[in-house]
Structure 1
Amino acid sequence: MGGRGGDPRALRQAGFSLVELLVSMLLVALVLGGALTLFNYTNKLSRAQLHQSDLQQSARVAQRELLGTVRMAGRGGLAGFAVAGFTATSGPASVTPAITVRNNVPAAQQRLVIGDDSSPLVALDTDVLTVRGHFESPPAFVNSTDPSTFVVAGNGGTITISSRSPGGVPQDLSALVDAVDDDRPDALLITSSLSDLVYGVAELDPTTSDVSLFDPDPAAVFDIVIGYKNRGGTYTTEYGLLSADGVFPDPNVLPPTPPEWVPVRDLEGVGSVALLEEYRYYIRDPEGLEGEVAPRLAVGRFFPGTDAPHPNGGWRQDLASNVYDLQVALGFDSSFDGTNSFNGFFAFDPDNIGNDDLIVDGELVPSTSSDLDDWLFNDPADEENLGNLPWTPNPASGSTPPAFTASQPRPRLYYARVTTLSLTASADRGYQAPLITAIEDRAYPPAPSDPKAINGSEGRQYRRLQLTTIIDLRNL
């Protein structure tokens, strides 16, 4: 009864058999492997969602920054059409006092200020959008019934402005006072009291200004004197070209015969004064900048009509990262109607039917062509070579320089269509984005030699977001 082996059931309960141990280890390995796989997938998904969120945020910021300023282009009365003298050819349609587009920047002109290698580098084939108006400061209204408020003297004059508007409403004059105190040659947008179609852009003259009575208290009542120059200043020549007929409407100097849209020859009285601002939006190329690998949407502030950066902003302020393209198309009331009839002007319309009553987009309206529509820079054929009507004056007009005529008038600007292309900061190795064939008049090669290009094998591993906004230019 007391054998050496004892009870065999007790031996079996003493531990796992080898087979049981192996099975247990296999099950644990499977569970851990599944958990690790799940964690890895979750981590990749989370990272992809984070990059996607950053992409959407960057694209929204870019569009918001552009929309907020572009929709106010021309605020204060600047023209939305090219004016005589603004360029040597009376101005192509894309070059106006209120808004200007440098289309598809070529390699030879990649600097924000062409020829200045110290200025930021603009991404190749992107657009540069220049917007002018008064944005950050309100206009100051002048009591034009008092002849002493507007005095012409020497190379300019003085304008007396009260802290109360002619209607008795308090006015914020701090921006004008700051410009005088800082001794800046800022641009002044001076509008006639007779018509807002008559205006001039002159240079602030701190030496003839007097802001000593300024009081920041909103309840205070006081006057300030703002001096200006329209000749003989630092930027008076450039500022004058932004005026209603390409020259400051100086009561002491008889200007050239005004265009049909200017009812009088000079200011005769001042209705309002405002600081004129200029902003240039562009895609900043990171080449040569330490620690940066992706382009960004940036903005530079300049003294209007010049290439001199303004001290309040300079020529580079980054707005949104990983923005690879900015394309701008301008919507006009032009002679084009999407076909070859050239009867698209609203003023030439005998009825209220047809494409001549629309700002026609050849991509959207049936039986029309994008190179014969009312949108400039939405087709590669939209070039502004001299004589390419309706975007430039006709050399056969007989005038020097060539000018628009009654039968081929200057197109009027109504809309700006702004498109941005943003990419994620990191590649998704298992992803291939759809090909981009074109954005407005910029074509993207379907098989680029550079694998990192937008349509390259590596470039398509980045998720992208293309946003387009049509902006009603409310002040033009």
Structure 2
Amino acid sequence: MTRRRREGGFTLIELLVATLIFALVFLGVLKLLDSSTRVSKVESALADTQENVRYATYHLVRVCRMAGGTNLPLGWNNSGSVAWVAAEILDNVSSFTDDAGVSHTTLAGADVLKVRGFFESTPYFVLPANVDLSSGTVKISEKTPSGKIQDFSHLPGQGKGLVLMGRNQYAVAKVSAQPTISSGTSPNRTMTITFSTGDGGIWESLNPNGTWTAPTFDVYRVGVLDSYNYFVDPDLQLQRWRASAANSGNGSVEPVALNIGGLQVAMGMDADRNGIIAPTEWYYTKDNTSGPPVAAVVGAPVPSLPMTVLRITVLGRTPFPVRGWQEPVATFNAEDMPLPSAEARRSKWRWL
């Protein structure tokens, strides 16, 4: 009888140990992959946030560089208070009213920046005889007497402001109907703009002394005035309210950038007119939370304002918290920005 030789193999204990080692290695690989995925997700979100901050800052700076223009002042002293015309800052608010009178909720602690100017169409040259104050119409020739061709490709919109300009004088009315262009071939056409006055709205308040007064001066230029109100909503979007005839004349709200956690704007004004903006002449900051002194803004109609600059800071944040992260307090030293909550600081932030 032949005896079968016993083959060597794993014992139960050896099998359990091998399985345990394999499980530990497998879990380690999974953890490594999970950590890599989380890091990649955070870095991708942070890159998007940085791009949004750059775009929002570029957009705001570009528009602010075009604020006012021609005869429009930054603001003027209206019987002891400042009436802002070309730009206005609402400091650290939780809500605001746009230029059409509609209220909006904002991200608490963020600033609101209102900017007005000729953003979408350049002012037109007109003959004084073509401005009819009694009927509220302005007729603009596509070709001026000097031979200059005026751009009619962008038709100004209803519901915006209309600035009637003379020599160092201006008056503001409201575009009350969609402008029309006569039939014919370019450059021999005529644009007709109809305007209304005395409605008590934002456009009338931009006039010298705050009310409409029919111009006693010859009008040589007219410009369609745009108004943009920038704010951060509670969903971390930088929004722009834009004056237009949309929504029954209440304008429209348009998104500008995502993942924006704050907007801070400071104003520097050379109040003593010595040609230098000193640290004490910066307003809406940690050291000086109030606005500029009324005495620094001279009277209507067209003030000779001191040198004025705006300093804009945009803060972005990832749309989700990052495990184990707490944003340093120093990140939030922008102007007079209040410190965000501990939960908000668990996101990663970038600013410009």
TM bucket (normalised to shorter chain) is: 0.7 to 0.9
TM superposition shift of 1:173 = 2.3
Give the alignment of 1:29-428 within 5 angstroms: 29-84=23-78, 89-92=79-82, 95-105=83-93, 110-113=95-98, 119-142=103-126, 144=127, 148-150=129-131, 152-154=132-134, 157-176=136-155, 179=157, 184-192=158-166, 195=167, 197-204=168-175, 206=177, 211=180, 213-214=182-183, 219-229=186-196, 231-232=197-198, 234=199, 238-243=202-207, 250-252=214-216, 266=217, 268-270=218-220, 272-285=221-234, 294-302=235-243, 314-335=251-272, 345-346=273-274, 357-360=275-278, 362=279, 373-384=280-291, 391-393=293-295, 404=298, 412-428=306-322
Instruction: Decide which structure has the larger Cα Rg and report it.
Output: 1
TM superposition shift of 1:417 = 0.9
Q: Distance in 2 between matches of 1:214 and 1:298?
A: 38
8 Å CA contact 1:149, 1:160 repeated in 2: yes
Q: Distance in 1 between matches of 2:202 and 2:12?
A: 93
Q: Distance in 1 between matches of 2:103 and 2:289?
A: 28
Q: Distance in 1 between matches of 2:70 and 2:319?
A: 40
Q: Distance in 2 between matches of 1:50 and 1:435?
A: 23
Indicate yes or no: 2:342 matched with 1:440.
no
TM superposition shift of 1:133 = 0.7
Cα distance change, pair 379–19 in 1 and its aligned pair in 2 (3 A): closer
8 Å CA contact 2:261, 2:317 repeated in 1: yes
TM superposition shift of 1:125 = 2.8
Number of aligned residue pairs: 347
Give CA deviations for 1:126-176 in whole Å, capped at 9, x if unaligned. Answer: 22111101111222223x4xx6434x442x654332212444343222544
> Which amino acid counterpart does residue 383 of structure 1 have in structure 2?
S
8 Å CA contact 1:214, 1:224 repeated in 2: no
Q: Percent identity?
A: 27
Structure (1/2) with the larger strand percentage: 2
SS at match of 2:107: coil
Unpaired segments of 5 or more residues in structure 2? Answer: none
Q: Distance in 2 between matches of 1:72 and 1:101?
A: 16
SS at match of 1:173: coil
Cα distance change, pair 72–3 in 1 and its aligned pair in 2 (3 A): same
Runs of 4+ more than 6 Å apart? none
TM superposition shift of 1:301 = 2.0
Name 1:28's counterpart in structure 2. 22
Q: Distance in 2 between matches of 1:225 and 1:149?
A: 10
TM superposition shift of 1:66 = 1.7
SS at match of 1:59: helix
> Which amino acid counterpart does residue 169 of structure 2 have in structure 1?
V
Cα distance change, pair 440–66 in 1 and its aligned pair in 2 (3 A): same
SS at match of 2:81: coil
SS at match of 1:421: strand
TM-score scaled by structure 2? 0.82
Q: Distance in 2 between matches of 1:124 and 1:26?
A: 53
